DNA sequence: TGTATTGCATGACGATCGTCATGTATTGGC
DNA sequence: GCCAATACATGACGATCGTCATGCAATACA
């Protein structure tokens, strides 16, 4: 039974990963359980051995993805001094490569409004947001808390707006301006 | 034929308004043509006398809603001096009432990521974003263009993040921090 | 006033949705 | 090596989706 449930946990991770990619690429409501299971190399029927419903999968995917993001930020802030950590976090977020790779991008900017409508998922998401804010506050000088809130807002907004621009030049302008607003040059 | 097509244009506006409310409340893919027509006081069949497809309606709804937002900002910036206009625009956007009333809220923060995936809709959206940036640049001191880009990013990001918070206190913190970042107090 | 036009309703289509009952093949424990 | 357990596949369900063909009632124009 140990080996079996280990395998099951692995499969569950594959389903979560497939859902993460597909939801971010096409939106939650545009992707069916069928497509997710196919992407995970399975068929649709076995889904309910792993999740109670599609809605439960959505909530867990968002929660897990954001917890991973928060953990990565925490690790960076522990491995480097404040200024270096801030630069690494903010520059990676405001990189044109992040804008282009929405399927692996931050859930706040790929699925923010969609998740805001799913009230069950919000507590876990808010918890990760708090962790991210704490990391940014540790890395920023001055009025830390306020600057952390403003910086995270500018990061999320700039990526959302950059993805809305059909013109790469305007998109890059948003990214550069948000970097400068965070105190980077 | 004049009176007739006038009536038809009115109905078309009702459909657009209904779509705007429902899409912002529940997301584009969560709302069917049936629900939109019902909200407009009609039945589903007549829809295709007004729009070529649901996708065409989505694009036009976003385009029209953002053009209205841009026009409102332009009007405000013409009726008041720079500092007053900036305060009116930014404070209205970062008002808790705007966060709460997503069904009438700015399309950038209610449907941003969803519209970013619909490439056909992006040119019209980008055009309105440019108009909004021009208004903000006119109202801001210093490095106007850069500050306009950063301010709009912070506004959109703060509202997205505030809607993700299950806790009103944290949500309001985002709004206040973004206001301060825009130079308001 | 009669006729052509047109805005919208009715109803149906194939496809796809989320969910679950059942079957099967594989595995761990004896 | 057999038996019980279980991970996943097959297949089907009712509902809902976007779309369109058709019909009707109301209106503009003669």
Q: pLDDT tens, B7-20? A: 888 999 999 999 99
Of A29, A30, A113, the CB nearest to B112: A113
Within 7 Å of a protein beta carbon, the nucleotides of strand D are 5-12, 16-22, 27-29
- The CATH code of the domain that includes A150 is 1.10.357.10
Query: What pLDDT shows up at residue A82?
Result: 96
Nearest CA to CA, how far is B152 from chain A (Å)?
A: 8
Are residues A36 and A79 both part of a single domain? Answer: no
Same domain for B45 and B66, yes or no, is no
Separation CA B59–CA B68 (nearest Å): 14
The alpha carbon of residue A70 is apart from the nearest alpha carbon of chain B, in Å, by: 15
User: Which tokens go with A157?
Assistant: 């907004």
Q: What is the average pLDDT score of chain B?
A: 95
Q: How far is the CA of B5 from the C1' of D13 (A)?
A: 45
CA A185/CA B23 separation, integer angstroms: 39
Q: Residue B3: its pLDDT value, please?
A: 56
Q: Could you check: is the Cβ of residue B32 within 7 Å of any atom of nucleic acid strand C?
A: no
Do B61 and B45 lie in a common domain?
Answer: no
Together in a domain, B47 and B134: no
- A47 and A15 in a common domain: yes
Which pLDDT score, from 0 to 100, does residue A80 have? 96
Average pLDDT on B70-91 reads 97
For residues A156 and A120, membership in a common domain is answered with yes
Q: Which chain A residues are closer than 8 Å to B149 by Cβ? A: 158, 173-174, 176-178
Q: Is B127 helix (H, G, I), strand (E, B) or coil?
A: helix
Question: What's this model's pTM, rounded to 2 decimal places?
Answer: 0.95
pLDDT at position B142, please?
85
User: B134 with B88, same domain?
Assistant: yes
DSSP secondary structure code for residue A41 in this structure: T
- Of B27, B51, B75, the position where a domain reaches its end is B51
Residue B84 pLDDT > 70 = yes
CATH number at residue B34: 1.10.10.60
Please state, rounded to an integer, the average pLDDT across all residues of chain A: 95
Contact B60, B28 (CB under 8 A): no
Distance from CA of B87 to the nearest CA of A (A): 17
Same domain, B38 and B72: no
Using an 8 Å CB-CB cutoff, list chain A residues near B30: 29
Query: Is pLDDT of B60 > 80?
Result: yes
What number is the average pLDDT over the span B54-83? 97
Closest chain A residue to B111, measured at CA: A113
Query: Which residue of A lies nearest to B105 if distances are taken between CA atoms?
Result: A113
Contact B129 A29 (CB under 8 A): no
The Cα A60–Cα A65 span in angstroms is: 8
Q: Which helix (H) or strand (E) holds B118?
A: none
Same domain, A136 and A168: yes
In this structure, are residues A25 and A63 in contact, taking their beta carbons and an 8 Å threshold?
A: no
Q: What 3-state class would DSSP assign to B179?
A: helix
Contact A26 B111 (CB under 8 A): no
B8 to A114, A152, B51: CA distances (angstroms) = 33, 46, 12
Domain identity same for B4 and B35: yes
**Cβ separation of A149 and B178 shorter than 8 Å?**
yes
Answer whether A150's CB lies under 8 Å from B181's CB: yes
Mean pLDDT of B152-159: 98
CB contacts, 8 Å: A145 with chain B: 173
pLDDT reported for residue A2: 46
- Are B69 and B128 spatial neighbours (Cβ–Cβ below 8 Å)? yes
Low-confidence ranges of chain A (pLDDT < 70): 1-5, 185
Give the mean pLDDT of B103-130: 98
Could you list the residue range(s) of the whole structural domain that residue B32 is in?
1-51
Question: Do residues B126 and B102 both lie within one domain?
Answer: yes
The whole-number pLDDT of residue A1 equals: 41
Query: Could you tell me if A160 and A83 lie in one domain?
Result: yes
Give me the residue from A28, A113, A181 closest to B150, CB to CB. Answer: A181
In angstroms, the CA A86 to CA A27 distance is: 30
Q: How many domains does chain B have?
A: 2
């Amino acid at each position: 039974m140990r080996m079996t449930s280990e395998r099951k946990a692995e499969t569950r991770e594959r389903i979560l990963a497939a859902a993460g990619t597909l939801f971010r690429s096409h939106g939650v409501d545009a992707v069916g359980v069928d497509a997710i299971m196919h992407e995970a190399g399975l068929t649709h029927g076995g889904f309910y051995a792993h999740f109670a419903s599609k809605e439960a999968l959505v909530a867990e995917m968002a929660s897990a993805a954001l917890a991973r993001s928060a953990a990565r930020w925490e690790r960076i802030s522990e491995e480097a001094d404040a200024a270096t950590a801030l630069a690494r976090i903010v520059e990676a977020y405001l990189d044109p490569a992040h804008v282009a790779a929405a399927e692996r991008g931050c859930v706040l900017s790929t699925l923010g409004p969609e998740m805001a409508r799913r009230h069950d998922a919000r507590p876990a998401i808010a918890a990760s947001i708090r962790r991210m804010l704490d990391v940014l506050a540790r890395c920023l000088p001055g009025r830390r808390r306020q600057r952390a809130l403003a910086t995270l807002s500018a990061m999320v907004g700039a990526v959302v707006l950059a993805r809305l621009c059909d013109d790469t030049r305007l998109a890059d302008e948003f990214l550069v301006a948000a970097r400068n607003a965070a105190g980077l040059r």
